[in-house]
């Protein structure tokens, strides 16, 4: 692309806690928009920005804007244009986030436990012995599912979920940090937070 972004680069990921989903995209959006804290906001400047995006309620705009910068809400392209986002640079930052995600997937993981699903919205967590590898954890869950007929899962939020079904099938769902443009909005891909959560070590 021929563009350099001096304040952004893919960082080393040595443990799960080193990984922050969309770290580079968020940093770029913040760099373009300036401070988004309500305490430090220039009210006149923010009000002009809100109106340019089509908002008539100041507090609603501030609330939505916080969600946009956390990538938990779809972001209107009008907002990205208003803060003068360069879409080539945005694509580059998304690429860096993808690199960091791939690095995070290569980190050896030692899950603390797994979640058992009894019925909709009813879960229980069972701990693994210390230093259980992910492979060993899968085997334990397969034995459990076969013995009880219940599904279970290990969820690494923002990274992946390993789901063992009642018939012993194993599926892994990956939460790669992708951004897509649909109907005038930028939308971030799912982060896996909807699964019951068991953190890794």
pLDDT tens, 119-168?
Answer: 777 888 999 999 999 999 999 999 999 999 999 999 998 999 999 998 88
Provide the edge-to-edge strand list for the sheet that holds 179-182: 75-76, 185-188, 179-182
Say if residue 111's pLDDT is above 80: yes
pLDDT of residue 17: 87
Rounded CA-CA distance 109/129 in Å is: 14
Residue with the two structure tokens 């997937």: 105
pLDDT band of residue 9 (cuts 50, 70, 90) is confident
First-last CA distance in the chain: 38
For residue 194, pLDDT over 90 is answered with: no
pTM of the model: 0.84
Residues linked to residue 128 through DSSP beta bridges, in sequence order: none
Which structure tokens are listed for 141?
A: 């869950």
pLDDT for 8? 63
């Amino acid at each position: 692309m021929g563009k350099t972004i001096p304040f952004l680069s893919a960082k080393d990921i040595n443990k799960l806690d080193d990984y922050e989903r969309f770290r580079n995209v968020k940093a770029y959006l913040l760099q373009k928009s300036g401070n988004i804290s309500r305490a430090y906001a220039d009210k006149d400047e923010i009000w002009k920005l809100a109106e340019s995006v089509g908002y008539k309620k100041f507090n609603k705009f501030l609330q939505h804007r916080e969600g946009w910068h956390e990538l938990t809400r779809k972001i209107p392209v009008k907002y990205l244009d208003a803060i003068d986002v360069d879409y080539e640079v945005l694509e580059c930052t998304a690429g860096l986030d993808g690199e960091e995600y791939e690095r995070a997937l290569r980190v050896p993981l030692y899950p603390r436990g797994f979640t058992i699903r009894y019925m909709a919205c009813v879960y229980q967590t069972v701990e693994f012995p210390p230093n259980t590898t992910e492979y060993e954890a899968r085997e334990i869950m397969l034995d459990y599912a076969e013995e009880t007929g219940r599904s279970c899962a290990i969820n690494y939020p923002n990274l992946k979920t390993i789901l063992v079904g009642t018939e012993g099938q194993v599926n892994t769902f990956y939460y790669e940090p992708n951004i897509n443009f649909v109907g005038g909005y930028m939308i971030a891909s799912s982060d896996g937070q909807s699964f019951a959560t068991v953190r890794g070590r």
